[in-house]
């Protein structure tokens, strides 16, 4: 199975929803909390081109935020991305 990384920040309702969706599908993930780390937030923005959270990567490839994760789940693409 693929590795999933979820970058989160403080008080982020979309972060909570993304983690809940992954939990509901039984998909393990690593959460990296960047709420108090401006340097790593800037590095992540350079890497992904995104400034918003959550940022979800599967095998180091950007999926997007919660909306993109949810769309991938609904279309069946999430199963393909994680190799399930």
Digit-coded pLDDT (tens) for 26-80? 999 999 999 888 999 999 999 999 999 999 999 999 999 999 999 999 999 999 9
Q: Return the SS3 of 65.
A: coil
What is the value of pTM for the model shown? 0.93
**Domain 4-82 in CATH: superfamily?**
Glutaredoxin (3.40.30.10)
In this structure, are residues 6 and 19 in contact, taking their beta carbons and an 8 Å threshold? yes
Q: Return the SS3 of 4.
A: strand
């Amino acid at each position: 199975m693929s590795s999933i990384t979820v970058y989160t920040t403080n008080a982020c309702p979309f972060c909570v929803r993304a983690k809940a969706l992954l939990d509901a599908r039984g998909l393990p993930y690593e959460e990296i909390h960047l709420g108090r780390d401006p340097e790593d937030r800037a590095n992540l923005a350079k890497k992904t081109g995104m400034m918003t959270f959550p940022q979800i990567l599967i095998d180091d490839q950007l999926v997007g935020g919660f909306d993109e994760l949810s769309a991938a789940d609904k279309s069946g693409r999430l199963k393909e991305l994680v190799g399930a």
